[in-house]
Amino acid sequence: MLTSSVTQTKFTATTLVAGKTYSFKVEARNSFGYSAFSEIASILCATVPSTPTTPSTHVEGGDVIVSWVLPRENGLAITSYTITIETSTGTFESELTHCDGSSASIVAAV
């Protein structure tokens, strides 16, 4: 049991652990007794990842290396990044599907 004797129709659950799933159900009580429990509502304690840091770039031979610090995951592992490269002729996007845990890089031919 999380808590009892709540008198409002809203409750704030605190100190939850990111990445865990929590399930909640509610029962009502009056002077005659308790109701049946509500249906269960479950939620994964997670939010969108934090914003990545400003990327750094450097040239290696004919390639430009773009790298950034792994942002906070906020409860779920980051599964990919979208890199937008703007050129004088337009924009295109590439998707990076893995990272090494501390930084990620993509190589674009110049």
Q: How confident is the model at residue 79 (pLDDT cuts 50, 70, 90)?
A: confident
pLDDT at 92: 63
Instruction: Give the tens place of pLDDT for each residue, 7-42.
Output: 888 888 888 898 899 999 999 999 999 999 999 999
Give the span between the Cα atoms of 57 and 55, in whole angstroms.
7
Residue 96 domain-assigned (yes or no): yes
d(CA 58, CA 42): 45
**pTM (two decimals):** 0.58
Instruction: Tell me if 86 is assigned to some domain.
Output: yes
CB atoms within 10 A of CB 66: 17
Q: Which domain holds residue 61?
A: 56-109
Residue 102 resides in a domain: yes
Residue 38 falls inside a structural domain: no
Q: What is the DSSP string of 46-86?
A: --PPPPPPPPEEEEETTEEEEEEEPPP-TTS----EEEEEE
Number of domains in the chain: 1
